[in-house]
Chain A
Amino acid sequence: MRRILPYPVLSLGLFVASILLSASVAPPSLVLAVLLALLAPIIMLALGVDRVRLKAPKAMARLAIDVAGDIVRSNWAVSQIILGRRRHERTSGFIHIPLDLRDRYGLAVLAIIVTSTPGTLWVEYESATGRLLLHVLDLVDEETWVRLIKDRYERRLMEIFE
């Protein structure tokens, strides 16, 4: 198994992408997709990239649903800010968040989540201390943001990747 498919997640992704790109499930497209899925990981082997180990599919599903909801909510919130429909005075600012997540793929996914949610921006991560610097557009309470990132995203990402 390991010899044929050193990167199962990558192989599956390539297979699905190839099928979607050729937009058919006819034999030629299937053969092309299988070839891609089998051959491309060889390059990755040569590069010596770390394997992704995904655990806890339940946590993955819950995280995906929560992130989708958060993206819609924060899109709405940022739209309101841009349109100037805010009652209270808005302050934006930087916050530091101490992260326990160390897996590089987990951190990459966290960076995508944070950046894809309008209103929060991943600015800097110090791998030596594990400290993350965020910029928040509507910073009401620092502690709430730290708790949100840690409880809602980081804990689940640690379940999935570590």
Chain B
Amino acid sequence: MTEAQIPAWAAFVVVGLAVAGSALSLLGAVGLTRLKTFYERVHAPTLGATLGMALVLAASVVWFTVVEGRFMPREILIGLFLTVTTPVTLILLARAALFRDRTEKAKDMPDKG
């Protein structure tokens, strides 16, 4: 890999965005272990899938805009497809859990709609 030269201000912006984004994703992972019930845990990874993802992608946009010297936000596509596909997994997991809990007649389960 060739070493790209970018100005210091751009490096700070890229690093700041990337670290903030990964910190949020890490926090989501920590949430997975700290929250108590399954339904609570499903909320945690969305941190990384929304704002965390957006910050990392923003870092990537700034990096490639500065290095290539032109604005081509391909990352928009990554963000778009992550955003429209994540709910599918989460809703599937939540519904599977609900089905299991209803079958087992767990406590505090909502009635059917």
Contacts and interface: CB of A to CB of B under 8 A. Distances in A.
Nearest to A129: B113
B39 A121 contact: yes
Interface stretch (A38-46, A77-85, A146-154): A77-85
Contact of A20 (B35, B42, B72): B72
B24 interface: yes
Given A82-B31, A116-B83, A121 B43 contact: yes
Classify chain B: how many residues form its interface, as a range.
35 or more
A25 to B, nearest CB: 9
A85 B77 CA distance: 35
B37 A92 contact: yes
Contact of A96 (B24, B84, B87, B113): B113
B91 interface: yes
Interface string B63-79: 00000000011101100
B110 A72 contact: no
Nearest to B84: A112
A120 B91 CA distance: 11
B50 interface: yes
B10 interface: no
B11 interface: no
A116 B86 contact: yes
B91 A79 contact: no
Interface string A85-98: 00000001110100
Nearest to A135: B39
A93 B76 CA distance: 34
Interface in A92-129: 92-94, 96, 111-112, 114-126, 129
B57 to A, nearest CB: 13
A82 B44 contact: yes
A17 B77 contact: yes
A116 B87 contact: yes
A123 B74 contact: no
Given A83-B27, A118-B44, A119-B43, 11 more contacts: A20-B72, A20-B74, A82-B28, A82-B30, A94-B39, A112-B83, A115-B90, A121-B43, A123-B39, A126-B112, A132-B113
